[in-house]
Amino acid sequence: MPEPIEVRKVPIHSVADASELQRLLDDGVMDASRVVAIIGKTEGNGGVNDYTRIIADRAFREVLVKNGAPADQVKQVPIVWSGGTDGVISPHATIFATVPVDRAEQSEEPRLTVGFAMSEPILPEEIGYVGMVDKVADAVKIAMERAGITDPADVHYVQTKTPLLTIHTIRDAKSRGKEVWTEHTHESMDLSNGTTGLGIAKALGEVDEVTDADIMHNRAKYSSVASCSSGVELDQAQVVVVGNARGVGGRYRIGHSVMTDALDQDGIWAAIRDAGLDLPERPHSADLDGRLVNVFLKCEVSQDGAVHGRRNAMLDDSDVHWHRQIKSAVGGVTAAVTGDPAVFVSVSAAHQGPDGGGPVAAIVDLGSGEPTGYRWTAPA
C-alpha cells in the first residue's frame, strides 16, 4: 500500500526562489527525502528557450539536497515546470510528499495517491508517431501500479514532461537517416504534448487505438485527465499519475472534469465537486474556505477561431502567439473561480480534452481542523 500524501502549494517570489519549500521543511510539514513530485509555474516565455524552468528546477533540487535528501534520489524526483504566467497567473509550485502512516489522518475513503515513472528514451523521429504513444502508455501503466491504482477510473490527473524537437535533435535524426514530423521547434511543443496525450488516453482505455494519422488531426480522440508539457530538459517521458485509493489515508482527495471551452467555469466547479467538496448550487470562491489546494488545467484555442459563437483573432495574430493569449484568458477565468491567481494553467492541449477546452483536476483538503489551502481576505 502506498504511503499517505501531504500536498501544499507555495508561492515563488522570484525566478530562482525556493524559500517557501525551505519553510515547509523547517516547519516539519514535509521531509526533504520524502518529496515525490513538484509541479509548478514559472514566469518565463513558455517557449522552447524558456530557461526559467531550468533555473527553478535547480533551485528546488538544491534545497532538497541541502536538507538531507540523497543527491542521487533528488535527481530522480519528477519536477515538472510549465513556463509562462501570462496575465494574472502567479508563479507557484505544488509539492507532493509522502508522510508516515502514523502521522496521517486515517480514512477508508478514497484519498490522494501519487505514482511516478520514466519512459524508455524517446528518439526525435518518434515524436508525433505511435512509437512515442506506446512508450508513454507503458510508463503511465507503471506509474499507476506504483500509486496503488488498479482501476483507470481512479486516475484523475496525469502530468507529464516530454522532449520536444530542437535544432540539435533534428540534426541528430537526419545524421542517422531519419525524418522528423516537423522542423519547426515551437510547433514541436504542441506535437509532443498531443502525442503524449494520446499515450495517456491509450493507457487508461479512453481510446481503443491510435494511428499515426490520428496525431494532431483527429481531435475527437483525447484524454480527459492528461496534462502534458514539453521542453529541452530531458529525452524521456516523465510521468506523474495522481489519483485516489482507499485505505491509504491522509487529508487530500482529487477529482477531475473538463472545460468544454475557454469560458466554461462550470467545468472547473465540476472538478472541485468531483474531488469531494460540498458546494452550493451557484458557488462563489468564498465557499472554498481554504479547502482547495490547487487546480490544474490545460487549454487550447478552438480550431474554428471562435468562443460561444463569437470570432476571435488569436490564431491570426502574428505579434503575440496564441499560446500566450489563451493561457492568459483561461488563467483569468480560473482565478475568478478560485479567488487565487496561483493556478496551474498550461497551454498546448492537443488531445487533452475537447477541442477548444481542456481537462481540469482539483485537489481538495477534506481533513479535520484548519484547512491547508489558500484564503484571501480583501483589505479593509
Q: So which residues are the catalytic ones?
A: 161, 229
Q: How far apart, in whole angstroms, are the C-alpha atoms of residue 10 and residue 48?
A: 25
Q: How many residues does the chain have?
A: 380
Angle at 52 between CA 301 and CA 17, to 5 degrees: 125
CA dihedral 370, 374, 375, 378 (to 10 degrees): 160
156 by DSSP, 3-state: which?
Answer: strand
As a whole number of angstroms, the distance between CA 340 and CA 27 comes to: 24
Yes or no: say if 38 and 94 are a contact pair by the CB < 8 Å rule.
Answer: yes
Q: Which residue has the cell 533540487?
A: 61
What does the radius of gyration of the chain's CA atoms come to, in whole angstroms?
Answer: 19
| Three-state secondary-structure class, residue 175 | helix
Q: Which three cell numbers stand for residue 213?
A: 494519422
The single-letter DSSP state of residue 171 is H
Sheet holding 35-42, edge to edge: 5-11, 92-98, 35-42, 79-83
DSSP state of 291: -
Q: DSSP secondary structure string, 67-107?
A: TT--HHHHHHS-EEEEE---TT---EEEEEEE--GGGSPP-
**Which residues are CB-neighbours of 176 under 8 A, at least 6 positions away?**
none
Q: Which residues have a Cβ under 8 Å from the Cβ of 365 and sit 6 or more positions away?
A: 251, 252, 290, 291, 292, 293, 371, 372, 373
